[in-house]
Structure 1
Amino acid sequence: MNSAITGNEAGYDPATFQGLRFHTAVRDFRAGTDSPSDYLERCLATIAEREPVVRAWVVLDESGAREQAAASTRRWRRGEQLSPIDGLPIGIKDLLQTRDMPTQMGCAAFAGNFPKHDNAAVWALRQAGAVILGKTVTTELGGPEPSPTTNPFDPRHTPGGSSSGSGAAVGARMVPATIATQTGGSLMRPASYNGNWGLKPTQGAINRGERQTASMTAHGVLAGCPEDMWQIAIAIASRAGGDPGKPALSGPATPPPAHRPLTLAVLETEGWQRLDATSRGAFEQILAQLAAAGVTVLRRTGDPVLERFEQALLGAAELGSGILAWEHYWAFRDVVADNPDGVSARAKRFFIEAAENLGAAGYEEALRDRAAVQAAHAQLGPRVDAVIAPTSSGSAPQWLGDVPGEPPARWPTGDPAFNFPSSLLGAPAVNVPLMAVGGLPFGLQVMGQPGTDARMVAIARWMGAALTPVSV
């Protein structure tokens, strides 16, 4: 344990840490020995204790949440609950609109912004009886500018971005789950850094509501356990559907049972060379366990189809960043024009300037390159059950600030090299919190072909149950 860590930041061990769970409380709701109201009060007590250091929340609607929980308690007592997540306290990333709380997107230009509408996912959660507790911190406009949130296992380290508050709130056991979003690595990296279970679904499988402007963004779920993660995702999709023109997340109404894969492909990406030796050793221990369990593990050096996929992915982070910058350009340009001092220099550089440098022709070339990556991934599909990789380039780094006189750093909330592939591919990915490096979480990523979300969750559940957690 790091002697510099004080208070509740006790370090992380994946073998002993257990995230806050909701599905196990349902039995007691039915029996009358617990209630959504009492469950919420326990969450609020944890928030009061930990929030001064973690800083995961922008807005907390405690009175509104208590009213929602009381209504849920009455439904459970009558046996008229709306869904398996009726009464579940949940945080909403502050990029998504909520009718009863501001949506300020971590950006000074949007201070006080209050559209008074619900995002499609938020509407669906209300329909399912979930308790909308508050808005979690996001990095500015979902981009690379760091937020004030700290890592719940060591406040000197980043919680990742852009779903920084969503990941930290789950890691700190403030709530059993939060809604997050991903453009490049905005959901998966916080899941890895904060010890969350995380589902980044097939692109378009959960209706993004008002956030339809970019072709690679996705809504997803961070949770303390895979059961809650799936129940929330399927509850939203079954009510709000998918994006226009896209099929909704499909699968069973209950969490997919654990499923042992036969063949897995290891994806190194360009991040492999930047992965430190200790983190790489932890990941190799997981691979050795998979082989010992009878799973065939393919590596790029022995498989030409996998090697072609790896080659196609070279430069994935810059490719994806360029696409996103161009697709966000029009909206962000207007924000800067209206409030030039309300947007950070980092956002201006990596959104506005990057889009202008790319141009329309460069964007079209980037789309062709993305299609080539997707085609290489599709060729791998019939040969493996899933692709596995580290979810991040090691555990959460420290961010000490930009160097005076030099341009803003590109990735202050962590290297997204292992995250951009799932976004470029529109593929489902699940973070399994199975490793720790230096007392901080380090996740294992399971990625599949588009539309195989339930199968990826089933494989991830098997790994979580069958493999021994690794701490180094």
Structure 2
Amino acid sequence: MTTFMPMSARQIVERIAQRTTTVEAVVRACLERIAEREPTVGAWTWLNVDDALAEARRLDAAGVRGALAGVPLGVKDLIDTVQYPTAYGSSIYAGHRPAWDAACVARARAAGALVLGKTVTTEFATYCPGKTANPHDPRATPGGSSSGSAAAVADGMVPLAYGTQTAASVIRPAAYCGVVGFKPSFGRICRAGVKPLSESLDTIGVFARDVADAALFAGVLSGRAGRIPAAAGLPRIVLCRTPAAERAEPAALATLEAAAARLAQKGATVVEHDLPGVFEGLYAAQTEIMAVEAAEALSHEVACHATQLSTPLRQLIASAESVTPDRYVADQQLAQRCRAQFDTFLGDADVLMTLSALGEAPEGLAATGDPLCGRLWTLLGVPCLHLPFGVGPRGLPLGVQLVARHGEDERLLAAGEAVFGALCAR
């Protein structure tokens, strides 16, 4: 398991402002780490050392300023960049050069950040994995679809990276790789310039090594303040296993219980509740909505490049044929009803705490793990935060997921900062 501890994004910004380091020095440190570890981890699909150093020198010469001044970023290869090709994880788009940056990339550049390169994604952010291995054990999956981003941050290659989530593609890789993963409320970060998969579900998220860095990055991308509001102690928490617990590994459940016990011991209010029974239908609803909307979003690829699509992706698209228009509408109506019920369910609690994944990262690189623990929350459009906490029997990371009401992203991040501090305290 890696113990390399590079600077945080906040430290980089501070030291750039104080002129105790340079963007070039920061980028060189990242590139050295990548040169050492990339043959094992395989997090990057496009990286140009000369271009990265030239951009770093340009920022130094310009006296870069901003909330992300001098911070190198990994950009998931689902997100358009002018500087580097964007292939969306598919041979169909090999060498594709977008005409402009995605809105979320443009915002980061305007805040002084530097795009170091493109990180590996699964095919169109679905199921067929890329080359990336788990940095803690290269025999295990890093998760998907934001595999390269999660692995690069976990391994100290970059302090921050972009992800996207349609089912569990930020939270699950964060859990498997042992980093902080934040999926904001649906619609909070503009998706212009991101290859669509599911119009109702796709959400841009971020990876970082601590909650404060995740908040800073997400704040820049959403155009909101990137600092976590001060929390008045530990949050009020609803502990909820959800129906996913029936398929979880004992170590994952034990980690959730241990986190709740530690937080209660430190003074947090922790109450346990089960979700209303109607919520169980959201798992199937998310799967059906995703299939229907993926078939629509990839209509061109199906019509013109079907032979270049993987078998799992063709199966996903084919499954949409069994979802009638009435069924699709019913699925969306169920989600709408449950969104309103979720607000009531939380009551006076600040956040819900639950599983991030069913267990440690599975062995093998042919699949990316089960997205079950994210499907429900993604369909509800609520903000989610993974916090690494503990390891499983194979020595791989585990953790917990915090969930808040839609639009309460700052409350979630404040709660997450307090919880993370309490869980990490010796």
1:418–1:20 distance in 2 versus 1, CA, 3 Å = farther
From the superposition, tell whether residues 98 and 26 of structure 1 become closer, same or farther in structure 2 (CA, over 3 Å): closer
1:54 has 2:41 as partner: yes
CA-CA distance at 1:256 after TM superposition: 3.1
Q: 1:389 to 1:224 in 2, by over 3 A?
A: same
Task: Note if contact 1:197-1:432 (Cα within 8 Å) is conserved in structure 2.
Answer: yes
- The aligned counterpart of 1:324 is 290
Which stretch shows the higher mean deviation, 227-236 or 456-465?
227-236
Residue 323 of structure 2 aligns to a residue in which SS? Answer: helix
- Shift in Å at residue 179 of structure 1? 0.6
Give the alignment of 1:107-126 within 5 angstroms: 107-126=90-109
Which residue does 2:329 correspond to in 1?
A: 364
Once residues 468 and 50 of structure 1 are traced to their aligned partners in structure 2, the CA distance between those partners, rounded to angstroms, is: 26
| Aligned residue number for residue 51 of structure 2 | 64
Query: 1:455 aligned to 2:411?
Result: yes
SS at match of 1:353: helix
Contact between 2:139 and 2:365, CA under 8 Å: does it hold in 1?
no
Query: Is the contact made by 2:70 and 2:113 (CA closer than 8 Å) also made in structure 1?
Result: yes
Which position in structure 2 is the counterpart of 1:257?
230
- The 3-state SS of whatever aligns with 1:430 is strand
Residues of 1 paired with 2:203 and 2:85: CA distance? 21
Aligned to 2:420: 464
CA contact (8 A) 1:95 1:103 kept: yes
Counterpart of 2:9 in 1: which secondary structure? coil
Q: Judge conservation of contact 1:164–1:190 (CA < 8 Å) in 2.
A: yes
Q: For residues 400 and 253 of structure 1, what CA distance do their matches in structure 2 show?
A: 35
Q: Given the alignment of the two structures, is residue 235 of structure 1 paired with residue 208 of structure 2, yes or no?
A: no
Aligned residue for 1:221, secondary structure, equals strand
| Matching residue's letter, 1:41 | R
| Equivalent of residue 141 in structure 1, options 124, 138, 159 | 124
Q: CA deviation at 1:469?
A: 6.9
- 1:296 to 2:261 alignment: no
- Structure 1 contact 19–170 (Cα < 8 Å) conserved: no
Q: Hey, what's the Cα distance between the residues in 1 that align with 2:226 and 2:246? A: 41
* Distance in 2 separating the partners of 1:400 and 1:193: 13
With 438-447 and 106-115 compared, the bigger mean Cα shift is at: 106-115
Equivalent residue number for residue 189 of structure 2 = 206
The amino acid that maps onto 1:45 is E
Q: How many angstroms apart in 1 are the aligned matches of 2:298 and 2:403?
A: 31
* One-letter identity of the residue aligned with 1:31: Q
CA distance in 2, matches of 1:394, 1:291: 23
TM-score w.r.t. structure 1 length?
Answer: 0.85
Distance 1:19 1:317 in 2: 38
Query: Mean Cα displacement is larger for which, 197-206 or 222-231?
Result: 222-231
Q: CA deviation at 1:108?
A: 1.9
1:218 aligns with 2:203: yes
What is the rounded CA distance, in whole Å, between the counterparts of 2:263 and 2:159 in structure 1? 29
Against the structure 1 CA distance between its residues 294 and 375, is the aligned structure 2 distance closer, same or farther, given a 3 Å change threshold? Answer: same
What residue ranges of structure 2 are gaps of 5+ in the alignment? none
Long gaps (5+) in structure 1: 1-10, 239-249, 301-305, 402-411
The answer to whether the 8 A contact 1:270-1:417 is kept is no
> In 1, Cα distance between the equivalents of 2:229 and 2:79?
28
Task: Give the secondary structure class of the aligned counterpart of 1:443.
Answer: strand
Task: For residue 189 of structure 1, report the CA deviation from its aligned partner.
Answer: 0.5
Give the letter for the 2:123 counterpart. E
Tell me the secondary structure at the aligned position of residue 442 of structure 1. strand
- 1:176 maps to what in 2? 159
Following superposition, the deviation at residue 274 of structure 1 comes to 1.2
- Residues 283 and 390 in structure 1, CA contact (< 8 A), matched pair in contact too: yes
* 2:10 aligns with one of 23, 30, 33: 23
Q: AA paired with 1:326?
A: V
Aligned to 2:395: 439
- Please say if residues 259 and 462 of structure 1, whose CA atoms lie closer than 8 Å, have aligned partners that are also in contact: no
Question: What residue in structure 1 maps to residue 279 of structure 2?
Answer: 313
TM-score normalized with structure 2 length: 0.94
Equivalents in 2 of 1:43, 1:86: separation in Å?
15
* Aligned-partner SS, 1:178: strand
In the aligned structure 2, how far is the partner of 1:158 from the partner of 1:400? 5
Q: Which residue does the alignment assign to 2:240?
A: 267
Task: After superposing the two structures, state which structure 1 stretch, 324-333 or 121-130, moved more.
Answer: 324-333
Identity fraction in percent: 33
Does the C-alpha gap of structure 1 residues 17 and 258 become closer, same or farther in structure 2, counting only changes over 3 Å? farther
Structure 1 window deviating more from structure 2 (330-339 vs 388-397): it is 330-339
Cα distance 1:108–1:115, how it changes in 2: closer, same or farther (>3 A)?
Answer: same
CA–CA distance in structure 1, aligned partners of residues 307 and 237 of structure 2: 49
Deviation at 1:271, TM superposition (A): 1.4
The alignment partner of 1:444 has SS state of: strand
What secondary structure is seen at the aligned counterpart in 2 of 1:166?
helix
SS in 2 for 1:439: coil
Q: Distance in 1 between matches of 2:396 and 2:231?
A: 26
Structure 1 residue 228, shift from structure 2 partner: 1.9
Q: CA deviation at 1:307?
A: 3.7
In the alignment, what sits opposite 1:404?
Answer: none
Out of 33, 39, 42, the residue aligned to residue 26 of structure 2 is 39
Which residue in the other structure is 1:413 paired with?
368
C-alpha contact 1:432 1:464 (8 A) present in aligned 2? yes
**2:330 maps to 1:377:** no
Q: Look up the SS of the partner of 1:283 in the other structure.
A: helix
Q: Aligned residue for 1:389?
A: 354
Aligned counterparts of 1:417 and 1:191: Cα–Cα separation in 2: 15
Say whether 1:423 aligns with 2:378: yes
